[in-house]
Amino acid sequence: MTFSWPWLLLSVLVIPLIFAIRWWARRRRRRAAVRVTSIALVRSALPDRTRWTRKIPAALFIAGLALLAVGAARPQASVPVPQTSATILLALDTSGSMCSTDVDPNRITAAKKAATEFIESQRGGPRIGLVTFAGNAGLLVPPTDDTDALIKALDGLTVSRGTAIGQAMLASIDAIAEVDPSVAPTGATPGAGGEGYAGAAIVVLTDGANTQGVDPQTAAQEAALRRVRVFPIGFGTTNPSPMVCDNTQFDGGGWGGGFGGRGRGGFDRGRNVRTIDEPTLKQIAQTTGGSYHRAENAGQLQSALAALPGSFTVIRQRVDTAAAFAAGGAVLITAGLSLSLWWNRPRIPAR
């Protein structure tokens, strides 16, 4: 909790001042005491009160004053608020290693299925865009709420050489900038950073390491300057496995020879020994304020994607809570005074 006018918290000092005045008044009262011949007469003249009926009104009054003092300082609380205009850029790795069969039937097929289920689950929610990257990165579908168009684009994904993670992040930033004026494109100087994060996030799904193009950490710093969080997902296992894709999953260029059926009419370039560059992916998440997720099979990938919207479609905003403190203080003071008047009301002695 923060305060807009913290110096007004000094008004809470009125509470010890009240105690000091009460103590001084009681001392004067003792000096002006008179002697009486009958204690019974005094008791009959005083209201019938217990110890608690004397202390409860005073406690309520003091608590109410404390709440009013805090409210005067204009407290602000950070609360979770749904982000209805969120934009999600899904950057999918389409490098050749996505043909690895350590995930059945291969990584690219499992990734397309998980991405399809994720997009379907967000129908009617945030805008989603699609970026693919291998040796180069490109925007496949601009941020849209057209779920069918996104799924159709996923169906046509093909693999090729290279892994340009950093370039994919920059392409995602530019796609966000097209629909969100608060996010500057990569060629422009970002404006003064506001509080919290932008209403957009990038999800990078990759199974390897950056092999060409912009350094991923450089791209992460660009995203951080624009308050855009990046959520990397490392997909696949470290177990060597054949890389097999069918003809519909191959772009047909840049691979040269090495084609062979291996039972699927596609290609098999031997064993995949490349491991996920987890340190870099974790550093990207740390730099941008996102989080890194690891998925070794299709089920874990689907779970990782399903858990992400709660991270970037709910943001934290500062809400002024002064009115709540003032209302609470007024209620307590009113209750204290009311109870005091009620318990100290004059009573007609019974005959």
Q: Which residues contact 220 (CB under 8 A, 6 or more apart)?
A: 169, 230, 283, 284, 287, 288
Tens digits of per-residue pLDDT, 109-139?
Answer: 999 999 999 999 988 888 999 999 999 999 9
Architecture of the CATH domain 84-312: 3-Layer(aba) Sandwich (3.40)
Report the alpha-carbon angle 146-147-152, nearest 5: 105
How does DSSP assign 284-333, residue by residue?
Answer: HHHHHT---EEESSHHHHHHHHHHSHHHHSEEEEEEE-HHHHHHHHHHHH
**pLDDT attached to residue 241:** 84
Total Cβ atoms within 10 A of residue 80: 10
Q: Is 250 in a helix, a strand, or coil?
A: strand
Q: How many CB atoms lie within 10 A of CB 35?
A: 4
Distances (CA, A) of 40 to 37, 45, 249, 341: 9, 9, 102, 24
- Angle at which helix 298-307 crosses helix 107-121, to 10 degrees, equals 30
Record the tokens describing residue 12, joined without a space: 């809470």
Beta bridge partners of 95: 160
CB 260 within 8 A of CB 270: no
Span of 29-33, 278-282, 328-332 with lowest mean pLDDT: 29-33
Place 89 in a pLDDT band, splitting at 50, 70 and 90.
Answer: very high
Q: Which amino acid is at 65?
A: L
Q: What pLDDT sits at residue 36?
A: 55
- Going by pLDDT thresholds of 50, 70 and 90, the confidence category of residue 192 is low
Q: Which residue has the tokens 């596609």?
A: 266
- Rounded CA separation 60/62 (Å): 6
Q: Indicate if the pLDDT at residue 4 is higher than 50.
A: yes
Identity of the amino acid at 215: D
Between 21-35, 126-140, 223-237, the lowest mean confidence (pLDDT) is in 21-35
| Mean pLDDT computed over every residue of the chain | 81
Calculate mean pLDDT across residues 221-250: 88
The more confident residue out of 99 and 350 is: 99
Sequence-ordered list of residues with C-beta below 8 angstroms from that of 197, at least 6 positions apart, any chain:
227, 228, 229, 289, 312, 315
Q: Both tokens of residue 29?
A: 């009262």
pLDDT band of residue 295 (cuts 50, 70, 90) is very high
- What is the percent of the chain with per-residue pLDDT over 90, rounded to a whole number? 42
Six-digit token string for 87: 């934009």
| DSSP character string of 204-236 | EEESS---SSS-HHHHHHHHHHTT-EEEEEEES
Least confident of 7-11, 19-23, 131-135, 266-270: 266-270
> Residue 132 — left, alpha, or beta (φ > 0 → left; ψ -120 to 50 → alpha)?
beta
Residue 6 has pLDDT above 50, yes or no: yes
User: For the residues 313-342, what does the mean pLDDT come to?
Assistant: 79
Tell me how far apart the terminal alpha carbons of the chain are, to the nearest angstrom: 59
- Amino acid 256: pLDDT: 40
CATH 3.40.50.410 placement within the chain? 84-312
pTM of structure = 0.66
